[in-house]
Amino acid sequence: MLLKNISVDCVIFGFDGERLNVLLWQADPQLLLKVVRENEDYEQVRILYESHPSLLTDYTWGLIGAHVPYETGLDEFAQDITSGSTGLRNVYLRQFQTFGDCNRVAYYRVITVGYYALINPRYHDLQMSPLTRKMMWFDIDHLPRLCFDHEKIIISALNHLRESVKYHPVGFHLLPEKFTLTELQTMYEVILGEKLDIRNFRKKIQKMDFLLESGEKQVNVPHRAARLYRFDKDKYELLVKEGLTFRI
Amino acid sequence: MLLKNISVDCVIFGFDGERLNVLLWQADPQLLLKVVRENEDYEQVRILYESHPSLLTDYTWGLIGAHVPYETGLDEFAQDITSGSTGLRNVYLRQFQTFGDCNRVAYYRVITVGYYALINPRYHDLQMSPLTRKMMWFDIDHLPRLCFDHEKIIISALNHLRESVKYHPVGFHLLPEKFTLTELQTMYEVILGEKLDIRNFRKKIQKMDFLLESGEKQVNVPHRAARLYRFDKDKYELLVKEGLTFRI
């Protein structure tokens, strides 16, 4: 049985080295209707869709999300729909806010618990569930028309991420395993939405002293190859214990 | 109609100058049962209570909370139950986390959206709703036995507050309008759970330069009267625009 009044929506952020993107999808309306008609579990959802057919003919994009099954915990379900809808596994996923305005979804009352994921698309092959009609990355600065209050949810997720990256090293989930200092700075700049002074930024990063030189350099670049670094999680945790304050 | 699977719980923090306290309550079981029997709105809750009478004979303490009405938004309802159950109005109240483990409440599935409030009890008279049997402040370090997962919720609220006071001036909601530097430091120490070096603390605070000397001193104290300060919100906001980084 699905909880009719509770859903989970996941804002999946991917950083491609230059832009911060969000993964959005559209369900196949015919298949969706078939599934909700055949599956007893979806009875409540079926009634809603059948009494409000415009829900099915809405071709705007949406976040990956679904109603919560009665027997699945919220955190577990956020993992389930992320991996089930996209193929993404073992990703950084965190709850950030619950949206519960009365009219956030037309037709009936549904609150949604918002989670966001941080990935680097280089390490993940996207796999679409059979229900998916389209799935695509969109630049956070150029979002398409979105259903319900999903634009508001994405903006809230970005604001939460913006706070979080300043005080915690979560941004490294968006980077490749080995990255240049320029890629690191670009990642911060696209999240914070502002240019950072290169000298100040590098001074801050070097002072915190949790980056390891990998000994390698970029290859196949049209400019002088830059050094590649890694984030040293063990060292970072040791430094925090010794009193390090992370601050970008 | 009440949403059977969704509740809101409020962790009300009060700082008395020395300790961080949480406001907890117990409903009157007879009155509660009477209300749920007489009120059609409470039909779902009545069925739950009547089929599980142990819910009514549980004399442990709990957070102020209730099931969300179909026609009330989450934020609005958090305000409603805070003021309706305690008389507290115009308080700092923020959503911090939603708890949705399958078995967090025995008997049936209910997710709860957690909010916390920050008050200074000096400015608020507590008023109990007719349903209340007992309502009391408890030291955060000496909590009584709590129902459901309310202890976990309080600890999560405290952890969220701990993060928040480091980077934002929200702690001032806990202080009287005019306070000594010692009261300010004590407030930080009880929230962070650690002693702070007095010289470093004062240097940090003075460097941020958003405290105003009120020109007054403590009265009726057995030691030398200390100066009283105010938090200058307008100046703080101006400083932030000019690049101030709040950090305790």
For A57-113, the pLDDT digits (tens) are 666 899 999 999 999 999 999 999 999 989 888 899 999 999 999 999 877 899 999
pLDDT at B37: 80
Q: Read out DSSP for A47-58?
A: HHHHH-GGGTS-
The number of domains in chain B is 2
What are the counts of helices (DSSP H) followed by strands (DSSP E) for chain A?
A: 7, 8
- Residue B216: inside a domain, yes or no? yes
Can you list the pairs that A41-50 forms with residues at least 24 positions away whose Cβ atoms lie under 8 Å?
A: A41/A1, A41/A2, A41/A69, A42/A2, A44/A2, A44/A4, A45/A2, A45/A4, A48/A4, A48/A107, A48/A108
Residues of A in contact with B245 (CB under 8 A): 247
Decide: A192 and A162 in contact? Cβ < 8 Å: yes
Q: Quick check: B56 pLDDT over 70?
A: no
Decide: B49 and B33 in contact? Cβ < 8 Å: yes
Global ipTM: 0.91
Which amino acid does the sequence have at B75?
A: D
Q: Quick check: A4 pLDDT over 70?
A: yes
What is the C-alpha end-to-end distance of chain A, expressed in Å? 45
Residues of A in contact with B111 (CB under 8 A): 6, 68, 74, 113
Query: Rounded to a whole number, what is the distance in Å from the CA of A171 to chain B's nearest CA?
Result: 18
Does B188 lie in the same domain as B134? no
Q: Tell if the CB–CB gap between A102 and B68 is shorter than 8 Å.
A: no
Confidence class of residue A50 from pLDDT cuts 50, 70 and 90? confident
Which amino acid does the sequence have at B110?
A: V
Nearest to B100 among A73, A97, A102 (CB): A73
pLDDT at B162: 96
Q: Quick check: B117 pLDDT over 70?
A: yes
The encoded tokens of residue A61 equal 């994009």
**Pairwise CA distance, residues A129 & A134, whole Å:** 10
Q: Quick check: B48 pLDDT over 70?
A: no
Confidence class of residue A118 from pLDDT cuts 50, 70 and 90? very high
Query: Rounded to a whole number, what is the distance in Å from the CA of B34 to chain A's nearest CA?
Result: 27
Residues of B in contact with A245 (CB under 8 A): 247
- Residue A19: inside a domain, yes or no? yes
Final residue belonging to a domain, choices B150, B183, B202: B150
Query: Rounded to a whole number, what is the distance in Å from the CA of B45 to chain A's nearest CA?
Result: 16
pLDDT at B33: 78
Q: Tell if the CB–CB gap between B113 and A98 is shorter than 8 Å.
A: yes
Does B182 lie in the same domain as B85? no
For residue range A160-172, list pLDDT tens digits in order: 999 999 999 999 9
Does A47 lie in the same domain as A149? yes
Nearest to residue B184, comparing CAs of B211, B223, B208? B211
Mean pLDDT, rounded, for B114-138: 91
- Residue B219: inside a domain, yes or no? yes
Does B66 lie in the same domain as B30? yes
Q: Tell if the CB–CB gap between B100 and A3 is shorter than 8 Å.
A: no
pLDDT at A29: 77
Q: Tell if the CB–CB gap between A101 and B167 is shorter than 8 Å.
A: no
Nearest to residue B144, comparing CAs of B114, B136, B191, B133? B136
Q: Quick check: A33 pLDDT over 90?
A: no
Q: Which range among B38-47, B51-60, B191-200 shows the weakest confidence by mean pLDDT? A: B51-60
Q: Quick check: A123 pLDDT over 80?
A: yes
Minimal-distance CA residue of chain A relative to B160: A96
Nearest to residue B178, comparing CAs of B220, B228, B217? B228
Residues of B in contact with A68 (CB under 8 A): 100, 111
Mean pLDDT, rounded, for B99-112: 90
For residue range A179-234, list pLDDT tens digits in order: 999 999 999 999 999 999 999 999 999 999 999 999 999 998 999 999 999 999 99
What is the rounded radius of gyration, in angstroms, for the C-alpha atoms of chain B? Answer: 20
Does B69 lie in the same domain as B175? no
Q: Which residues of A touch B (CB under 8 A)?
A: 3, 5-6, 68, 70-75, 95, 97-102, 109, 111, 113, 163, 166-167, 245, 247
Q: Quick check: B132 pLDDT over 90?
A: no
- Residue B158: inside a domain, yes or no? no
- Residue A247: inside a domain, yes or no? no
Average pLDDT, chain A: 91
Residues of A in contact with B5 (CB under 8 A): 3, 5-6
Q: Tell if the CB–CB gap between A95 and B95 is shorter than 8 Å.
A: no
Structural domain including A19 reads 2-159
